[in-house]
A and B are shown apart, each in its own frame.
Chain A
Amino acid sequence: MGSIFDNLESIREANGGIEKVGVKRIFTNIPVRKPHRQEFVRTHPDPDYRIDCKVLHLKNDNEVYFLHPDVFSYADTDVQHVCLWSAVTRAGAPFLWMLKLPDESGRENSWHQTAKRAAVEAQTQWLKVVANMSAGNYELHIATGDLGEPQWPDADEYPFNKWLEIAFKERMIDQPDHPVLQKLRGEI
């Protein structure tokens, strides 16, 4: 009789006995927000993963609505011109980082400037942004340890328009008689 080691391949299970199954992580919510003050984040380095757009930020409800160009004129005074950057937390949770853009006169305050700088820096390194009230701007706190690369949602499954679709799936204003606009106009 031969050695027990001679014929083990005939009884070995494929893949170590663990059947291969496909499981996808589904993102059902992508919040539109700033990074929390304790949160280290990264932004997507691909310019196709950000967009300049106009939004309505209802601060009382903490809700951000995406405005279709057709309705800009109906919400004139409340509209904000922003850039939405794709960002991700250490835990791999995606969000859209909303950064205000200069107004029509081109002016930009130091909060907006430092926030934008943070988003640019976060393309290549983990950082958090902390408000410095006395200086009137954000401080950038860069992680010194090797925290590894961010886990982005799969690009094929989640191209940037999919991010927008998920983030604004119930918050897209594309009609002048949208309830949010009606409310702002005091009609309801």
Chain B
Amino acid sequence: MRLPEQYDCFKEIWAIDFEFNDVDGNRPHVVCLVARELRTGRLVRLFEDNVGPLPPYSCGPESLVVAYFATAELDCHLSLGWPLPLNVLDLYVEFRALRNGLPNGPGGRGLLGALIHFGLDHIRADAKDHWRELIIAGGSFDAQQRQGILDYCQTDVDALASLLPKMADSIDLPQALYRGQYMAATSRMQHAGVPIDVEAFKRLQTYWSDIRLDLINRIDTAGVFEGESFRQTRFVDYLMKEDIPWPRLPSGILDLKTETFRAMAKLYPQIAPLHELRHTLSQMRQIKLAVGHDGRNRCLISPFGASTSRNTPQASRFIFGPSAWLRSLIKPRPNAGIAYLDWSQQEIAIAAALSGDENMIEAYDSGDFYLSFAKQAGAVPSWGTKASHKRERDLYKTCALGVQYGLQEQSLALRLELPVVYARQLLQAHKRTYAQFWRWQDQVADAAFLKLKIKSVFGWPLTISSQANPRSVRNFPMQANGAEMLRLATIALQQAGITVCAPVHDAVLIEAPLDQFDETVAQAKLVMEKASLAITNGKVKVRVDADVVKWPERYVDERGWRMWSVVDELTGQLSGNNPAGQ
């Protein structure tokens, strides 16, 4: 096998693949392992009953482990109590990087897609399905099945052996190994999982279909629903009664998209329970949350799933999916606590640092970006406070957030409930106050569309195709570097010995015993601040907010608290038990 010189530092290069089952909320149960050392061709094939206490290959600094979507393999390592390899090269991640921004080819992003892309032989998809179904069904396998499963597993290992030389020249190895470290960090998070109140969860699962109508009756005090159906005409009446202006589509009908509802619920908190209810009823016919036998939520975090490289966990299976009320199922174990740690206004901080806009950095460092923006633009005197100039602050906040989303003056005016001329003035104020930021964004767009590539600070690339959305391209540095910050912090938190249960967009959920809890939270905040300084090249320390929950309390997201209270009460009544929250 011929590989570029940079691979010479590894004494061994192992391609590995596991087959496993029983993953619905649980740690994987290993069925078999096939591994091949790529230079010598040495092959290892182990069925579950032959797997030992240590990996049959080196996981140390002189060895490289190659896999495709490595979290699966690394999850198996952790399930077996094996150490994780120090050097992981995930060809899934690198194929994603290579093709990011371009349409998927035949076979998609999977191993099959990569093999087809590079013109390599591959096993047929229907043959794969046959073996996958057999493995997932579990049970005991006869000798012929064991042989077949190992052979099937080996096809993926052989595929990796063919794929690596094809991809090696296009891979920036140090950056790829860094990304591999995050795949290992992700496995550790998937292994840890999020602690769930199992009793409350079981009640919810059991009675969910029975409480839906009662839930509507309790939450929908405006009478917008008819049975389980959301009635637009009734909603219009409600909006008129509440004097709430609602965005409309070009056709004139109400814009009822989930994201519009979510944005409006932020502006009009009275909408929030209705939004939660409508979303929940439409998305959750059944409770699909993946909770393992040990009472912890686990699902595929899907690192690098988004073009910005953010994680894309499956919403219906993840406790931090879009239904905020469901998060009240999170409850620390006895004598433990959890903390939700998120960077404050991460995207603004990144924009300020990368653009080098001193006004924006000063406003972020003030601790209240929106008020400072209003002051810098001359709308609030220097002595003004959040209390004395609430309206001005709110206007400038909506403008600053709108700029992040790329809102134009028409859309901003809608959010502000003001004529377009006010929105225009605010946007002009932003452009004047943060002129360096706007120049930098122009440079980002110019560079992207001229070079047809743009990268995060640690090299996550986006290829610019003819379908590229200019607004997304301009926002890419904020999003992709936000993802970088999360990856770096997650790795660093784990290196500090802190248990990270899950990543949540620009936040993490950590867990610690109560007797070490406060110190752990303080330490975690320092680590996350250090990660932010590394991403912003020392220019901005992004503040970290902590939301802590100590046993026996449960996690509360204020957006979903009312909904949770009603659900908990209704399921408690049906089960004849006291509600879990009482």
Residues on A facing B (Cβ under 8 Å): 1, 3-5, 8, 10-13, 16-21, 23, 145-148
Does B174 sit within 8 A of A, measured CB to CB? yes
In the assembly, what is the distance between CA of A5 and CA of B450, in Å? 33
A selection of 6 A-B contacts at a CB cut-off of 8 Å is A12-B458, A13-B459, A17-B457, A19-B451, A20-B447, A148-B432
Total number of residue pairs linking A and B with CB closer than 8 Å: 70
Q: Which of A1, A4, A20 contacts B61 (CB 8 A)?
A: A1
A20 to B455, CA, bound (A): 12
Do residues B492 and A19 form an inter-chain contact, with CB atoms below 8 A?
no
Cα distance A146–B379 in the bound complex, in angstroms: 11
Chain A CB within 8 A of B510 CB: no
In the bound complex, residues from chain B placing their C-beta under 8 Å from that of A20 are: 443, 447
Distance A143 CA – B174 CA, assembled complex (angstroms): 55
* B446 interface residue (CB < 8 Å to A): yes
Q: How far is the CB of B188 from chain A (nearest CB, A)?
A: 13
B378 is an interface residue with CB less than 8 A from chain A: yes
Most B-side CB within 10 Å, residue of A20, A23, A146: A23
Is B542 located at the chain interface by the 8 A CB criterion? no
Q: Please determine whether A5 and B432 come into contact, CB atoms closer than 8 angstroms.
A: no
Which residues of chain A are near B488, meaning CB under 8 Å?
A: 4, 8
CA distance A170 to B437 in the complex (A): 38
Q: Which of A4, A5, A21, A147 contacts B446 (CB 8 A)?
A: A21
Do A5 and B534 form a contact, CB below 8 Å, given A12-B458, A13-B456, A18-B447?
yes
Residues of A within 8 A of B457 (CB): 12-13, 16-17
A23 touches B174 (CB 8 A): no
Task: List residues of chain A with CB within 8 A of the CB of B432.
Answer: 147-148
CB distance A21 to B447 under 8 Å? yes
Measured CA separation A11–B457 after assembly (Å): 8
B451-509: which residues lie under 8 A (CB-CB) from chain A?
451, 453-459, 477, 480-481, 488, 491-492, 495
Nearest CB in chain B to that of A10: its residue: B174
Specify the chain A residue showing the minimal Cβ separation from B60: A1
Please name all residues of chain B whose beta carbon is closer than 8 Å to the beta carbon of A19 when the two chains form the complex.
447, 451, 453-454
Assuming A4-B491, A16-B477, A18-B443, what are 6 further A-B pairs, CB within 8 angstroms?
A5-B534, A11-B459, A17-B455, A19-B447, A19-B453, A23-B443
For B477, the chain A residues whose CB sits under 8 A away are: 16-18
Asked if B86 is an interface residue, CB under 8 A from chain A, the answer is yes
Interface centre among A1, A5, A10, by most chain B C-beta atoms within 10 angstroms, is A5
Q: Which residues of B contact A17 (CB under 8 A)?
A: 454-457, 459, 477, 480
Closest to B491 in A: A4
Interface check B354, CB cutoff 8 A:
yes
Q: Could you give, for residues 426-438 of chain B, a 1 whenever the CB lies within 8 Å of some chain A CB and a 0 otherwise?
A: 0000001001000
Contacts of B442 in A (CB 8 A): 23
Q: List the B side residues contacting A8 at CB < 8 Å.
A: 458, 488, 534
A8 to B487, CA, bound (A): 13
The answer, yes or no, to whether B314 is at the interface (CB within 8 Å) is no
Nearest chain-A residue to B456 (Cβ)?
Answer: A17
Contacts A21-B446, A146-B378 known; A3 to B175 CB distance under 8 Å? Answer: no
In the assembled complex, how far is the CB of residue A153 from the closest CB belonging to chain B, in whole angstroms? 15
Q: Which residues of A contact B456 (CB under 8 A)?
A: 13, 17
Instruction: State whether B458 touches A16 (Cβ < 8 A).
Output: no
CB distance from B285 to the nearest CB of A (A): 42
A21 to chain B: which residues have CB within 8 Å? Answer: 443, 446-447, 450-451
Let me know if A11 and B175 touch, CB within 8 A: yes
Q: Are B458 and A13 in contact (CB under 8 A)?
A: yes
Shortest beta-carbon distance, A23 to chain B, in Å? 5
What is the predominant secondary structure among interface residues of chain A facing chain B? loop
Given contacts A11-B174, A145-B378, contact A18 B534 (CB under 8 A): no
A4 near B492: Cβ-Cβ < 8 Å: yes
> Are A5 and B530 in touch, CB under 8 angstroms?
yes
B470 vs chain A, min Cβ distance (A)? 14
> Across the interface, which residues of A come within 8 angstroms of B235, CB to CB?
none
Residue of B86, B443, B530 near A1 (CB, 8 A) is B86
Enumerate chain A residues within 8 angstroms of B492, measured Cβ to Cβ: 3-5
Also in contact, A18 and B495, with CB within 8 A (given A11-B458, A147-B432): no
Which of chain A's residues have a CB closer than 8 A to the CB of B534? 5, 8
Most B C-beta atoms less than 10 A away, residue of A1, A11, A145, A148: A11
Chain B contacts for A18, CB-based, 8 A:
354, 443-444, 447-448, 454-455, 477
Interface: B181 (CB within 8 A): yes
For residue B57, CB closer than 8 A to chain A, the reply is no
A-contact 0/1 string along B168-199, CB 8 Å cutoff? 00001011001001000000000000000000
Closest chain B residue to A15, Cβ basis: B447
CB-based contact A4/B495 at 8 Å:
yes
User: Are the C-beta atoms of B459 and A23 separated by less than 8 Å?
Assistant: no
Q: Select the residue from B181, B455, B481 with max chain A CB neighbours within 10 A.
A: B455
Q: What is the chain A residue whose CB lies nearest that of B175?
A: A11
A15 to chain B, nearest CB (A): 9
Measured CB to CB, the nearest residue on chain A to B534 is A8
| Residue ID in chain A nearest B428 by CB atoms | A90
- Chain B residue numbers with a CB within 8 Å of A145 are 378
How far does the alpha carbon of A11 sit from the alpha carbon of B172 in the complex, in Å? 9
- Min CB distance A35 to B, Å, is 18
Residues of A within 8 A of B178 (CB): 11
CA A82 to CA B492, docked complex, whole Å: 70
Most buried by B among A11, A13, A16, A146: A16
Closest to A17 in B: B455
How far apart are the CA atoms of A148 and B359 in the complex, in Å?
A: 13
Give complex CA distance A148, B174 in Å. Answer: 45
A19 shortest CB reach to chain B, Å = 5
B537 CB–A CB distance under 8 Å:
yes
Distance of A23 Cα from B442 Cα, bound (Å) = 10
Q: Let me know if A4 and B181 touch, CB within 8 A.
A: yes
For residue B495, which residues in chain A have a CB less than 8 angstroms away from its CB? 3-4
- Closest-by-CB residue of B relative to A91 is B428
> Which residues in A have their C-beta under 8 angstroms from that of B458?
8, 11-13
Instruction: Find residues 348-381 in chain B having any chain A CB closer than 8 Å to their own CB.
Output: 354, 378
Contact between B354 and A16 (Cβ–Cβ < 8 Å)? yes
| A13 / chain B contacts, CB cutoff of 8 Å | 455-459
Give the top 10 A-B pairs by smallest Cβ distance, nearest first: A17-B455, A23-B446, A4-B491, A11-B175, A21-B447, A19-B447, A19-B451, A21-B450, A11-B174, A18-B447
Question: Which residues of A have CB within 8 Å of B454?
Answer: 17-19
**How distant is B393 from chain A, measured CB to nearest CB, in Å?**
19
Instruction: Please measure, in the bound complex, the distance between the C-alpha atom of A88 and the C-alpha atom of B178, giving whole angstroms.
Output: 50
